[in-house]
Amino acid sequence: MSLPLTRKDLMIVNMGPQHPSMHGVLRLIVTLDGEDVIDCEPILGYLHRGMEKIAENRTIIQYLPYVTRWDYLATMFTEAITVNAPEFLENIQIPQRASYIRVIMLELSRIASHLLWLGPFMADLGAQTPFFYIFRERELIYDLFEAATGMRMMHNYFRIGGVAADLPYGWIDKCLDFCDYFLRGVIEYQQLITQNPIFLERVEGVGFISGEEAVNWGLSGPMLRASGIQWDLRKVDLYESYNQFDWKVQWQKEGDSLARYLVRIGEMRESIKIIQQAVEKIPGGPYENLEVRRFKKAKNSEWNDFEYRFLGKKPSPNFELSKQELYARVEAPKGELGIYLVGDDSLFPWRWKIRPPGFINLQILPQLVKKMKLADIMTILGSIDIIMGEVDR
């Protein structure tokens, strides 16, 4: 406990939960000595809905429409992990076309999420203009989502064994148009922001995290990569078809808020690269696995035989999770989104633990803001990139 420097009494200030730069309903209890932050305690739970408990009495199909409410800005990732965990548990292969469609959707969603990080982050620093610019590009992504899935935010598009619907006619061309347009948009952002002296003054050296600290605090995603660790689950875990594209892990070694900004900007460009390659190479064929699962007891039953369970096109509503467990994860825009799934030979998961990246990344906040100025709390919190929907679940 450090001692007050200027006054006898410290001031304890409450920030949030209804505060525009708290990114939802985070509440911070800040102990201040003048402008200096002595201590900070995050209070969570204002958006807690008991999603893990709810998962325990829903089938995966019933639960799917709900999961986009974890991280409501990177919705495709929540759906991806919700179908990936049962797929791994039951060894379900997905057709190549479905995998490509998933990659395209995931990367579009990553761009949308990073855009809606960039705008509010700049607004936290006092620059309002980018907040309105990002909605131009994000709008186009959501138009693409709407065309393919019928919904703009809460898509319910991923299915066990594939996706819910094929891409509509002409979608690929529109997607390519968006990529070209967006690359110009990124350049515009960089011209506007990256070299801006006021911006640099606010972010350079603020919220420094060393590589060792970042690993020890369990950070993931851009938070970890900005501290010099080249750790991207898309490269490490080789899920979906990410190994078929040519792209690089974005990382910086400085470990401050500027580095995190640069990593995210770089990731948007890499995502565009992945999307461009994926829409060029997208194979034909089914977009959903035609056979979902066989009888458990007759694993090697002959195809189309009496014992063979042939579950139509859609995943069966009584899709059973066998009595095994695993930890599945994807690289979401905010970091590692994981599910620890324990099956129980029943329709419902015995335990559905969500490992949200925002929740884990937020832990380091009190340490980062200590001995900084009050106004730096916004910068640091903004650069962590949290969404309370997934922090509180």
Partner 1 sequence: MQQGWLSNWLVKHEVVHRSLGFDHRGIETLQIKAEDWDSIAVILYVYGYNYLRSQCAYDVAPGGSLASVYHLTRIQYGIDNPEEVCIKVFAQKDNPRIPSVFWIWRSSDFQERESFDMVGISYDNHPRLKRILMPESWIGWPLRKDYITPNFYEIQDAH
123 counts as binding partner 1 under rule CB under 8 A: no
Among 325, 347, 373, 374, which residue interacts with partner 1 (rule: CB under 8 A)? 325
Smallest gap from Cβ 340 to partner 1, in A, equals 5
Among 88, 135, 142, 171, which residue interacts with partner 1 (rule: CB under 8 A)? 88
- Other residues' Cβ atoms within 10 Å of the Cβ of residue 4: 15
208 counts as binding partner 1 under rule CB under 8 A: no
With respect to partner 1, which residue has the nearer C-beta, 122 or 364?
Answer: 364
Q: Is-contact 242 234, C-beta < 8 A?
A: yes
Q: Of 113, 181, 97, 185, nearest to 145 (Cα)?
A: 113
Name residues contacting partner 1, limited to 183-202 (CB under 8 A).
Answer: none
Number of H helices, E strands in the chain: 15, 8
Among 329, 333, 380, 387, which residue interacts with partner 1 (rule: CB under 8 A)? 329
253 counts as binding partner 1 under rule CB under 8 A: no
41 SS3 class: strand
Report the C-alpha gap between 140 and 142 in whole angstroms.
Answer: 5
Name the H helices within 126-190: 129-149, 171-189
45 counts as binding partner 1 under rule CB under 8 A: yes
Side-chain-side CA neighbours of 146 within 13 Å: the count stands at 7
Q: Of 119, 169, 18, 138, nearest to 75 (Cα)?
A: 138
What's the distance, CA 277 to chain centroid? Answer: 22
With respect to partner 1, which residue has the nearer C-beta, 232 or 256?
Answer: 232
Smallest gap from Cβ 51 to partner 1, in A, equals 10
With respect to partner 1, which residue has the nearer C-beta, 152 or 351?
Answer: 351
Smallest gap from Cβ 332 to partner 1, in A, equals 14
With respect to partner 1, which residue has the nearer C-beta, 193 or 328?
Answer: 328
2 counts as binding partner 1 under rule CB under 8 A: no
φ and ψ at residue 167, rounded to 5 degrees? -70, 140
With respect to partner 1, which residue has the nearer C-beta, 129 or 216?
Answer: 216
364 counts as binding partner 1 under rule CB under 8 A: yes
**Partner residues linked to 373 by β-bridges:** 36
Tokens of 76: 């495709």
269 SS3 class: helix
Smallest gap from Cβ 363 to partner 1, in A, equals 5
Which residues would be at the binding site for partner 1 (CB under 8 A)?
A: 44-45, 48, 50, 52-53, 56, 88-89, 212, 215-220, 229-231, 235-236, 324-329, 336, 338, 340, 342, 350-351, 353, 355, 359-360, 362-364, 392-393
